[in-house]
Amino acid sequence: MIYKNYPMVSRVVFGRGSFNQLDEILAPKRNGRNAPFIFYVDDVFKGNHWLTSRITLSYKDKIIYVPTKEEPKTSQIDKYVEEIILEYSELPSGIIGIGGGIVMDIAKAVSLMLTNKGESKDYQGWDLIKNPAIYHVGVPTISGTGAEVSRTTILTGPDRKLGINSDYTPFDQVILDPELTKDVPKDQWFYTGMDCFVHCVESLDGTFLNAFSQSYGEKAFDLCKEIFLGGHLTKEESQDKLMMASWHGGMSIAYSQVGVAHALSYGLSYLLGVKHGIGNCIVFDHLEDYYPEGVAMFKEMKTKHNIKLPLGICSDLDEDQIDIMINVALSLDPLWENAIGKNWKTKITREKLMALYKKM
């Protein structure tokens, strides 16, 4: 097919307090007493009665608290899947991810790997998944990644950091309750929010852009401007709008791609374990040659919110280490093709990337 035929999230609820409906939404999806709902919840919510009291456990349902210091690994997904298979006689009725991009990606990946044989590393790439996933639900508690709407789950495997991109990856149900984001620390709010901003810039400046992506990208871009530079919104309005910006930003890249910032940020993440949001910020700060207007606006936002990014994170690296990051970045063909065009290999050299990494 020349034109891609993309799946979307089939159901979505939006509203402050909509998380109260979780039980009601899940109940019809239960496949019996031996088929549990498994809830992956960011461990920042451990002991948080306000949130966890709204998760009702029946029969063999279970909450698994997920540490989020590090981004998800394929080995971690395989372990979660094995635990479920060993503990239960039937496949779960559903997998629910409550948290940021990390936890949502874990929920997506586990739901896929319960019905697809083998190891998750073998499915990193595009359209390698054969069977539909278990019913899976995403509940974002921080806004920006677009993981709630995307057709990928990004995992670090033994050889690379790459998503499992497939038609079965998107959630069957998403609950968008902006109130859940009320306690996100300010720096993290900025980093994850900037992931959305960077998605918009990379999509809108990319060669893959079409009217579908543009319509979502422009909306998300305007919302980000209002949230991060506007200054007239209440906290609640800002939370509501960032949740929708994330959604639109994610939709915008569904039919296009990200670009230079993401390619370089994947390198940082692979070698140094730098997390996605802050990694994008560290990289984007140096990309004025590629995205002059977007980077100028980003610097304005950074100043306005008094965000101090780490400096010199690559200064102690030797050239072999930087080479590893360059290899990761250059392996992401579609990102470069979107950013630069089909002839990107004639324009992007290892020396250029080496110079950029050395600035960070």
Interface positions with ligand NAD (CB under 6 A): 42, 44, 68, 71, 99-103, 105, 141-142, 144-147, 150, 152-154, 180-181, 183-184, 188, 192, 195, 275-277
**Cα–Cα dist 331/267, whole Å:** 10
CB of 30 to ligand NAD, least distance (A): 27
* Burial environment of residue 14 by CB neighbours within 10 A (0 to 12, 13 to 18, 19 or more): middle
Q: Pick the binder of Zn ion from 105, 148, 172, 195 (CB under 5 A).
A: 195
**Cα–Cα dist 278/284, whole Å:** 10
**Cα–Cα dist 290/270, whole Å:** 23
CA quadruple 175, 280, 271, 163: dihedral positive or negative? positive
Q: Which does 74 bind (CB under 5 to 8 A by kind): ligand NAD, Zn ion, none?
A: none
CB of 78 to ligand NAD, least distance (A): 17
H helices present in the chain, as ranges: 22-26, 49-52, 74-87, 101-113, 186-204, 211-225, 235-254, 260-272, 276-284, 292-304, 319-330, 333-340, 344-347, 350-359
CB of 39 to ligand NAD, least distance (A): 15
CB 204 within 8 Å of CB 338: no
Place of tokens 């050889």: 159
Q: Which residue is nearest to Zn ion (CB)?
A: 195
**In 318-355, which positions are buried (b, 16+ CB within 10 angstroms) versus exposed (e)?**
eeeebbebbebbbbbeebbbbbbeeebeeebeeeebee
CB closer to Zn ion, 61 vs 195: 195
CB of 329 to Zn ion, least distance (A): 14
CB of 103 to ligand NAD, least distance (A): 6
CB closer to ligand NAD, 92 vs 277: 277
CB closer to Zn ion, 114 vs 339: 339
Q: Which does 99 bind (CB under 5 to 8 A by kind): ligand NAD, Zn ion, none?
A: ligand NAD
CA angle 255/259/263 to nearest 5° reads: 125
* Burial environment of residue 308 by CB neighbours within 10 A (0 to 12, 13 to 18, 19 or more): exposed
Q: Which does 333 bind (CB under 5 to 8 A by kind): ligand NAD, Zn ion, none?
A: none
62 token code pair? 């279970």
CB closer to Zn ion, 195 vs 205: 195
CB of 252 to ligand NAD, least distance (A): 12
CB closer to ligand NAD, 147 vs 353: 147
CB of 249 to Zn ion, least distance (A): 8
Q: Is 105 in the site for Zn ion (CB under 5 A)?
A: no
CB 175 within 8 Å of CB 83: no
Q: Which does 248 bind (CB under 5 to 8 A by kind): ligand NAD, Zn ion, none?
A: none
How many residues sit in the footprint of Zn ion (CB under 5 A)? 1
64 token code pair? 């698994």
Q: Which stretch binds Zn ion (CB under 5 A): 15-23, 113-121, 192-200, 238-246?
A: 192-200
Q: Which does 249 bind (CB under 5 to 8 A by kind): Zn ion, ligand NAD, none?
A: none
CB closer to ligand NAD, 36 vs 146: 146
* Burial environment of residue 211 by CB neighbours within 10 A (0 to 12, 13 to 18, 19 or more): exposed
Q: Which does 100 bind (CB under 5 to 8 A by kind): ligand NAD, Zn ion, none?
A: ligand NAD
Q: By the criterion CB under 5 A, which residues form the site for Zn ion?
A: 195
